[in-house]
C-alpha cells in the first residue's frame, strides 16, 4: 500500500467492511471488487496506475481481507453491501469493476442499483451457458479450509512455483489475502449459491450502462466460454468484449499489460 493511500472501516448493513482508498474524493470514483479469496489490495497495481485520474476505492468483501467474519447461517448479499458502501462514502455514480466473484457483484450492482453506477468492468465473470456437475464436496471450499494451517512462507513457496512470471509484489499480496480469508465464506457461498445471484441471460438485455467484458481462454481456465461470448453479443450488442489470448481466469495477474490496455481504452469512452 502506498503511503498516501488511506484505509478505514465502515458499518455496512450491520457488518464491518474494510476498504483502501487512493484519493480524497476530488477525482472520478472507481470502485474495484476483488475475486473470491482475494482482498482489495490485490488491485494494487491497477489502482497505482489509475490513481492520477481516478479516486480508486478497493473494499474487502465480507469474509475477506480485514472485513467482518461470517457465520455459517449468515445471508450474504455482497451487492447490497457494495451499494451501501457507495452510499455511505457518497460516491457520485462510480465506475465499478470486478474480477470473478467481484465481477458477479459488479454486475448485480448494475442490475439492482443501476442509478448508483455509471459503467461496469467485468473481468471473467462466471458466465456460462451450462456448468458441469459439481462434486458432493466443493473443492474450492475444501481448499479454503486448508489455508489457516499454512504458513505465509509455505504460501509464498507455492505461489512462486505456480506463478513464476508474477512480480514479487503480486505474489506477496495474493498470499497475504489468503491468510486473511475466512473459510466459512466458502461454505456460505457454496450452500447458498451466493445469495442474490442473478441470471445474466435474463438480465443482460436490460443493461444500459457501458459494459466492458474481459475474457480469457476457457481451455486454460477462463470462466466465460466462446458460446457465452456469442450469447452476450446476441443479448446486448453494446457490450464491449475483449478476449485476451493465452491466459485463463487470472487475466490481469498473468497478462497485466493487455488487461490495462483494454481497461484504459474503455475508460476513455465513458462520458464524464
Q: pLDDT tens digit string along 177-206? A: 999 999 999 999 877 554 446 799 999 999
What pLDDT score does 189 carry? 86
* Domain assignment of residue 42, yes or no: yes
The helix (H) or strand (E) run that includes residue 211 is strand 211-215
* Domain assignment of residue 177, yes or no: no
Q: How far apart are CA 29 and CA 152, in angstroms?
A: 33
What pLDDT score does 196 carry? 45
Q: pLDDT tens, 62-76? A: 999 999 999 998 989
Range of the domain at 53: 6-130+194-268
What pLDDT score does 133 carry? 66
Q: What does the DSSP 8-state code read for residue 218?
A: G
Taking each helix axis as running N to C, give the angle between helix 168-180 and helix 152-162, from 0 to 180 degrees, rounded to the nearest 10.
130
Q: Are 120 and 93 in contact (CB under 8 A)?
A: no
Where residue 51 sits, what CATH number does that domain have? Answer: 3.40.50.1820
* Domain assignment of residue 176, yes or no: no
* Domain assignment of residue 149, yes or no: no
What pLDDT score does 1 carry? 85
Q: What mean pLDDT do residues 207-235 have?
A: 97
* Domain assignment of residue 153, yes or no: no
What pLDDT score does 195 carry? 41
Q: How far apart are CA 247 and CA 107, in angstroms?
A: 22
* pLDDT over threshold 90, residue 123: yes
Share of the chain above pLDDT 90, in %: 89
What pLDDT score does 272 carry? 79
Nine-digit cell at 254?
498473468
Q: What mean pLDDT do residues 50-73 have?
A: 97
* Domain assignment of residue 136, yes or no: no
Cell 457465520 sits on residue: 71
**Total of domains in the chain:** 1
* pLDDT over threshold 80, residue 213: yes
* pLDDT over threshold 90, residue 136: no
Q: Helix, strand, or coil here: 148?
A: helix
List, in sequence order, every residue forming a beta bridge with 235; answer none if it has no partner: none
Share of the chain above pLDDT 70, in %: 96
* Domain assignment of residue 59, yes or no: yes
What pLDDT score does 271 carry? 87
* Domain assignment of residue 140, yes or no: no
Amino acid at each position: 500500500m502506498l503511503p498516501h493511500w488511506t484505509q478505514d472501516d465502515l458499518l455496512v448493513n450491520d457488518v464491518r467492511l474494510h476498504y483502501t482508498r487512493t484519493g480524497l474524493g476530488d477525482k472520478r470514483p472507481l470502485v474495484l471488487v476483488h475475486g473470491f479469496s482475494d482482498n482489495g489490495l490485490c488491485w494494487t497495481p491497477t489502482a497505482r496506475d489509475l490513481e492520477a485520474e481516478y479516486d480508486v476505492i478497493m473494499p474487502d468483501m465480507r469474509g475477506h481481507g480485514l472485513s467482518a467474519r461470517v457465520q455459517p447461517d449468515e445471508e450474504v448479499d455482497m451487492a447490497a453491501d457494495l451499494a451501501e458502501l457507495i452510499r455511505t462514502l457518497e460516491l457520485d455514480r462510480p465506475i465499478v469493476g470486478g474480477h470473478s466473484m467481484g465481477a458477479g457483484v459488479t454486475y448485480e450492482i448494475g442490475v439492482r442499483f443501476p442509478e448508483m453506477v455509471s459503467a461496469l468492468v467485468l473481468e471473467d465473470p462466471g458466465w456460462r451457458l451450462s456448468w458441469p456437475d459439481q462434486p458432493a464436496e466443493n473443492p474450492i471450499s475444501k481448499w479454503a479450509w486448508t489455508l489457516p494451517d499454512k504458513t505465509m512462507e509455505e504460501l509464498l513457496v507455492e505461489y512462486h512455483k505456480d506463478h513464476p512470471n508474477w512480480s514479487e509484489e503480486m505474489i506477496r499480496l495474493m498470499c497475504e489475502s489468503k491468510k486473511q480469508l475466512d473459510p466459512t465464506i466458502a461454505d456460505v457461498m457454496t450452500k447458498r449459491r451466493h445469495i442474490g445471484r442473478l441470471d445474466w441471460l435474463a438480465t443482460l438485455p436490460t443493461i444500459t450502462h457501458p459494459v466492458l467484458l474481459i475474457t480469457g481462454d476457457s481451455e486454460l481456465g477462463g470462466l466465460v466460454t466462446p458460446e457465452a461470448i456469442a450469447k452476450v453479443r446476441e443479448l446486448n450488442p453494446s457490450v464491449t468484449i475483449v478476449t485476451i489470448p493465452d491466459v485463463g481466469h487470472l487475466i490481469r495477474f498473468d497478462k497485466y499489460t493487455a488487461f490495462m490496455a483494454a481497461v484504459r481504452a474503455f475508460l476513455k469512452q465513458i462520458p464524464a
